[in-house]
Amino acid sequence: MIELVVRRLEAVIFRHRVATLVLLALLTLGLGCFALQLRMEAGFDKQLPTGHEYTDTFFQYRDQVFGANRLMIAVARTKGDVWNVAALRKLNEVTEAVLYMPGIDRRTVSSLWTPNTRVLQITEEGFKGMDVIGGNVTAENLTDAQVARIRDNAIQGGYVGSLVANDATATMVIADLLDYDPKTRQKTDYIELGRRIDTDLRAKFEDADTKIQVIGFAKQISDIADGAASVLRFFALAFVLTAAAVYWYCRSVAFTVAALLCSLVSLVWQFGTLRLLGYGLDPLAVLVPFLVFAIGVSHGVQQVNYISRSICGGMSGADAARSSFRGLLVPGTMALVTAFVGFATLYLVPIPMIRELSLTASIGVAYKIVTNLVMLPVVASFFRFGPDYVKRVTALRLQREGWMKRLDRVAERHVAFAVTGAAVLLFAVAVWQSSDRHVGYLKPGAPELREDSRYNRDAVAIVEKFGLGLDVFTLVLEMPPDGCYEFSRMAYVDDLSWVMTNVPGVIGVASLSALVKIGASGFNEGNPKWQALPRDARSMASFIGLAGEGSGLYDPRCSVLPINVSLADHKAVTLKAVVDAAKRYRQENVNDTVKVRLASGNAGVQAATNEVLEHTELPMMLYVYGTILLLVLITYRDWRAMIACCVPLTLATFLGYWFMKVLDIGLTVATLPVMVLAVGIGVDYAFYIYNRLQTYLADAMPIEPAFKNALLETGNATIFTAITLSIGVATWGFSDLKFQADMGLLLAFMFMINMVMAITLLPALAVVIDALIPRRGPVKRPLMAH
């Protein structure tokens, strides 16, 4: 049935070759116009998991609990301290510039110059509250006496370490960002905002005496987008290397151009479709187009290999192209469908950015069925080759077959048993070593950028100078209205704050209960013995009023009390320790009137991402492997094929996890698609090799010579493709982006290890299974033998 369908498709397509190519060219031109309109787009909200407890808390209280999407700007002096007129005037200018930048939530802007920066003093007359910089002080008329008073107020108000550096060499401006403009409802362009920070802040206010240091999601994603320009350079380099390698392999300019052009056409279709669907290209997904291109090259080389072999066998270019179409359409489609399903399963991860990436990659892989399995052989059918080319390629093929004969001994029974035994041991070690692999980020700062990048240098400088954590994990405690005036509830808040303070990795905890205790002490001449929670509701209300709503530690109804836990970093181990401590306290100390909600803050949403990746990785990989098993069973109708094709893939996957652990590469939104892609590439190798192997077995050939013949026909192309793609992605190691460099190493490893598994373990398993459980009937031919 399938063979009949393929032959009818062949007849229609090759009978109308010119019309087919014209139609595809028109489609390319149309989608190309839309592809040119594609732009990079980044959003904070689409980085967050949906339907997760932590992010539900974040979205519910994002207008009351700030800090998840924060911008921190340090105005640092290169010499001297900040307690002078020039430094404070500069801080005022930066504060005003930040206030009027697009995407800034003006309610949250804090610096020494903003009215939400208050100081509370205990005097003989009682409490005295005032702004750190009073309303009667202006930057234009600032005097040395006023500077001295501002310094005293900042010290008394406890702003050293938060808004003023510990060594007084820098001041801070803090602001939260809005994902949407509240008036226009337009999405905030974080990439443009990050660039405006350079033009409106750094270029304007940096000089010989001042440095502007900026960290936050907007600046981080903007720097990643700028670094993505290097992706284009390395893509061009990989493209040139691939072109040179393909030419070396086939010794034909026509074949080289056709193979690469067809792979690029699918990228044009992919970009155009994304634009039509209203999507942009996320900076963290910028590597996906090359991954799709790599899959196209893999299938293109198999087509070129098949056609050139047929030409050397005496066929004309047109007949060889038609033979390639017939022979590779089914195995190629099965491999691409598997890769498609692999990327589509990423949609199971409830993170909008990964779902967008899933859609991007799935579209690209689906188009490969047309461009590489249909368009390429149709284009090749127009090529004509003389006897000189046939003679040259035949000699080259014989030389390469000599190399392959050194590898085909793996099909000999005693070697196959040895290879299988070694694979079993390696699999056990790989599973053991990868059992505690990392989930999430493993280093402080922005892991996507190099350690010596401006962003990460700024992050280190801010951490060293200020006593605040860049990563905040916020617990939200819900209680009845005016519930915070009741002693038992505030005691619960205080106990939880104390527990979180003693978790490793926590550098500070801010809660309303702590401020209330300070207020109680202040009402008693600052005596530390009185630093306790009052049991009287009126006293509690009085002390809470001293803290003020500007503290951000309670809402107007006093029914939502955040506990802000500042962390030393956002490493996965730190986040897990904080989450475990909070959940353990919540479980062991149930209070019917107080509900502990996890978690807001940038560390809270990162913890949610880590948990989602950890919990969805296994089901997703099971779906991928389940699809592979089903397609193998449909194609070859033999359980032996299922084992022979899937066990090498499984071993390669666990070796990849081990490799990630050795290189300290965590499972993140960037690495997860790479592991799925690796399975797709491995399936390509397995399908092409096993398809030819079973064709020979169906002709009653013994398994050892059957594999040797299959390796001679497909092994060269498989090895060549893996080496070519590995060299191409290995050049990413020199990229400005750390995550691109890591992905280059990981991809190179996965390309090579999948190839090694396909040409060694796959045939070895087939031989071992055949020896242990002999076949009792004829081998069924693949659905479409080539």
Per residue in 199-228, pLDDT (tens digit) is 888 889 998 889 999 988 888 888 887 777
For residues 281 and 115, which has the higher predicted lDDT (pLDDT)?
Answer: 115
Alpha helices in 405-555, H assignment, sequence order? 413-434, 454-465, 487-501, 512-522, 537-547
pLDDT one-digit tens code per residue, 451-495: 888 888 888 888 888 876 678 898 999 999 888 888 889 899 999
For 302-319, write each residue's pLDDT tens digit: 788 888 888 887 788 888
> What residue type is 147 in one-letter code?
V
Q: pLDDT tens digits for 415-437?
A: 889 999 999 999 999 999 887 77
pLDDT digits (tens, 9 = 90+) for 358-416: 888 888 888 988 998 889 999 988 888 878 877 887 787 777 666 666 777 777 888 88
Give the per-residue pLDDT at 581: 94
- For residue 356, count CB atoms less than 10 angstroms from its CB and return exposed for 0-12, middle for 13-18, buried for 19 or more: buried
pLDDT of the residue at 785 = 46
Separation CA 745–CA 750 (nearest Å): 9
Q: How far is CA 4 from the centre of its chain?
A: 43
Share of the chain above pLDDT 90, in %: 16
At 786, the pLDDT band (50, 70, 90 cuts) reads very low
- H or E element that contains 392: helix 387-404
Predicted pLDDT at 89? 92
pLDDT of residue 88: 92
Structure tokens at 395: 């000699």
Q: What percent of the chain has pLDDT over 70?
A: 93
Provide φ and ψ at 277, rounded to 5°: -80, -5
Q: How confident is the model at residue 66, as a pLDDT?
A: 56
DSSP secondary structure letter of residue 408: G
Task: Return the number of other C-beta atoms located less than 10 Å from residue 639's C-beta.
Answer: 13
- DSSP letters along 669-719, please? TTTHHHHHHHHHHHHHHHHHHHHHHHHHHHTT--HHHHHHHHHHHHHHHHH
- Residue-level pLDDT at 184: 72
The overall longest dimension of the chain from CA atoms, in Å, is 107
Please report which helix (H) or strand (E) contains residue 439, including its range. none
Give residue for tokens 């779906």.
623
Structure confidence by residue, pLDDT tens digits, 541-582: 888 877 766 667 888 888 888 898 988 878 888 899 999 999
d(CA 450, CA 741): 9
Contacts of 532 (CB under 8 A, 6+ apart): 517, 520
258: left (phi over 0), alpha (psi -120 to 50) or beta: alpha
- Check residue 137 and give its pLDDT: 86
CA dist., res. 325 & res. 315, Å (int): 14
Report d(CA 250, CA 228) in Å as an integer: 33
70-77 β-sheet, strand order: 104-110, 170-177, 70-77, 210-216
Nearest to 255 by CA among 241, 265, 243: 243
Using DSSP bridges, classify how beta strands 70-77 and 210-216 pair: parallel, antiparallel or unpaired: antiparallel
Look at phi and psi of residue 549 and say left if phi exceeds 0, alpha if psi is from -120 to 50, else beta.
Answer: alpha
Rounded to whole angstroms, the Cα distance separating 67 from 57 reads 13
Q: Tell me the angle at which helices 288-312 and 352-370 cross, rounded to the nearest 10 degrees.
A: 20
Q: What is the DSSP letter of 571?
A: -
Q: For residue 638, give every residue at least 6 positions away whose Cβ sits within 8 Å of its Cβ, in sequence order, or none.
A: 694, 779, 780
Type of residue at 409:
R
Most confident range (mean pLDDT) of 57-61, 282-286, 443-447 is: 57-61
Enter the DSSP assignment of 230: H
Inter-residue contact 656 to 752 (CB < 8 Å): no
**Beta pairing partners, 594:** 591
Sequence-ordered strand ranges (E) for 180-311: 210-216
Contact 116, 550 (CB under 8 A): yes
The CA-to-CA distance between both ends of the chain, in Å, stands at 16
**Is pLDDT of 323 > 80?**
yes
The answer, yes or no, to whether residue 126 has pLDDT greater than 70, is: no
- Predicted TM-score (pTM) of the model is 0.76
Alpha-carbon 96 to chain mean position = 35
Query: What is each CA distance from 406 to 399, 402, 409, 412, 765, in whole angstroms?
Result: 12, 7, 7, 12, 19
**C-beta of residue 729 within 8 angstroms of C-beta of residue 744:** yes
DSSP 198-225: IIIIIHHH-BTTEEEEEEEHHHHHHHHH
| Burial class of residue 1 in the structure, from the number of CB atoms within 10 Å of its CB (0-12 exposed, 13-18 middle, 19+ buried) | exposed
Helix or strand or coil: residue 634?
Answer: helix
- Output the pLDDT for position 64: 66
Comparing 654 with 224, the larger pLDDT belongs to 654
Lowest-confidence region among 82-96, 125-139, 257-271: 125-139
- 597, two tokens: 């909600």
Task: Note the pLDDT of residue 549.
Answer: 61
Strand, coil or helix: 171: strand
User: CA-CA distance, 552 to 78, in Å (whole number)?
Assistant: 33
Which of 27-31, 169-173, 440-444, 714-718 has the least mean pLDDT?
440-444
DSSP notation for 89-135: HHHHHHHHHHHTSTTEEEEEEESTTSTT-EEEEEETTEEEEEESS-T
**Bond from prior residue into 599 cis (ω within 30 degrees of 0):** yes
How far is 288 from 362, CA to CA, in rounded Å?
A: 10
Are 582 and 596 in contact by the 8 Å Cβ rule? The answer is yes
pLDDT bucket at 68, cuts 50 / 70 / 90: low
3-state secondary structure 517-553: HHHHHHCCCCCHHHCCCCCCHHHHHHHHHHHCHHHCC
3 state SS of 508:
strand
Residue 493, token pair as written in the block: 């808040």
Beta strands in 513-658 (DSSP E): 560-567, 595-600
Q: What is the pLDDT of residue 91?
A: 93
Which structure tokens are listed for 446?
Answer: 């922005």
- The alpha-carbon radius of gyration of the chain (Å, integer) is 32
Long-range contacts of 422-431 (CB under 8 A, 24+ apart): 423/647, 423/648, 423/651, 423/761, 423/764, 426/651, 426/655, 427/650, 427/651, 427/654, 429/658, 430/651, 430/654, 430/655, 430/657, 430/658, 431/654
